[in-house]
Amino acid sequence: MVRFTIAVSALLLASRAAALDPIITKGSKCLYKNETQFFIKGIAYQKDPYRLGGESGDGTYSDPLSDGDSCKRDIPILAKAGTNVIPDPQCIVDLFDRYKAVIDDLANYDNTIGFFAGYEAAIRDSEKYIKDLRKDQRWLGVGYAANDNSQIRVAAVDYFNCGPQESTLDFWGYNLYSCRIFFNYSVPVFLAEYGCNDTTALYSDDMSKVFSGGIAYMYYQEENDYGLVRHPRVRVAKATPSSTSADNYNPTNSPPSCPELSSSWEVNRKVLPFTTDRDLCECIHKPASCSPSSRLNSSDYGEIFGFICVESSSACAGINTNTTTGVYRAYSMCNDTQKLAASSNAWAATATAASTASSGAGAGGDGGEFKSFSRVLHAAFPAFFEQVAAFTNMG
């Protein structure tokens, strides 16, 4: 099963951004606007956010791009190494809102060349957002970066390049040291991470026919001993791949057919998730009679979902997804709190109807539906009923 990654953005380093020649793509090549070929010569600049607590939410991770003193210290070193690209990881909560915020923050800088999105629908929506936001302005690409997985390698490569081109990637960053699989690819490809010792090979005549450069891993010296400060920078600085010009390049590669479903590839390309709609999700959440309290731990959501969806599959119909059949229900785009509100209200309505039918009580009655809902939850989750009691706004 394919696993999607978080979104990142890519920045082109220069001392004077206003003087930069915009980057465009033509077929599988990156080009300057003056139509000479552009090769990515990048270095992974951020420290590992997982090791430093950035993904754990404890607030200890600091993005060096937001630290002016660090940038002033490091940019001359990166420039001396011949670097022109660095990846900028972003940890996101409400996914597409975060994508849009990153685009809003960085799109107006001349030294931004594009963004990585973590999955197909995000590529589609980000590309459309950029086009709507920046009509008649310079090109900004949206691509995808991933580690290699031999089980889904070919399917993943084809999946992100096939089908309607308005929802396919503009470039691909991959950690696969092989030209063969990308020889006929119709968009630019670069190595998202490579070791410094591979620089000479990457920018050789053979590999530069397929790869548009890459991003060396990494700038900082950490426990993994990959830091650029410990390894020769001269390989990156002296890389001079053979290039082509737009006049001499007539792309003939075309997008591949979409991959067939299999035991190792369970994503249907014919149907993508909806574009996220915050208003829709807030609409279902705000008027909900049953909604998760702030006192309820989100780690308990899974067990509550499990109980509700087993008791009443129809209560969870609005949040269901199935990538194999291409089913994405209306509220599947919402966050877990909003999904839980939608499901619990649907289940409570079912429980109310059943309780009313068995007791003969009239609609509304004495609030028996609320009591019934609370009793069932109490019976289902005795170990943490004190928290679960706070699950509803029923009093």
Q: Pairing between strand 189-194 and 211-216?
A: parallel
Does residue 394 have a cis bond before it (omega within 30 degrees)? no
Mean pLDDT of the region 137-162: 85
Asked whether 313 and 369 are in contact (CB, 8 A), the reply is no
| Residue 193 annotated in active site | yes
Contact 60, 104 (CB under 8 A): no
What is the pLDDT of the chain when averaged over all its residues? 73
pLDDT at 33: 78
pLDDT in tens, 226-235: 666 555 555 6
Of the listed 35, 120, 127, 266, which one is catalytic?
A: 120
Distance separating alpha carbons of residues 62 and 51, to the nearest angstrom: 12
Q: All domains of the chain, ordered by start, with CATH? A: 8-248 (3.20.20.80), 278-389 (1.20.58)
Q: Which two tokens stand for residue 128?
A: 């459309």
Closest CA to 116 of 40, 218, 15: 40
- How many residues in the chain? 395
Give the per-residue pLDDT at 79: 73
pLDDT at 380: 46
Task: Give residue 260's pLDDT band: very low, low, confident or very high (50, 70, 90).
Answer: very high
User: Residue 41 corresponds to which tokens in the numbers above?
Assistant: 């010569």
pLDDT top residue among 116 and 186 = 186
Q: With beta carbons less than 8 A apart as the criterion, state whether 30 and 188 touch.
A: yes
Residue 222 annotated among the catalytic residues of the structure:
no
Residue of 35, 55, 166, 193 marked catalytic: 193
The confidence score (pLDDT) of residue 99 equals: 83
pLDDT of residue 238: 65
In angstroms, the CA 184 to CA 290 distance is 54
Of 41, 38, 40, nearest to 234 by C-alpha is 41
Q: Which residue has the higher pLDDT, 319 or 71?
A: 319
Give pLDDT tens digits for 4-47.
333 333 344 443 444 577 888 888 888 887 788 888 887 777 66
With 0-12 / 13-18 / 19 or more C-beta atoms within 10 angstroms meaning exposed / middle / buried, residue 60 is exposed
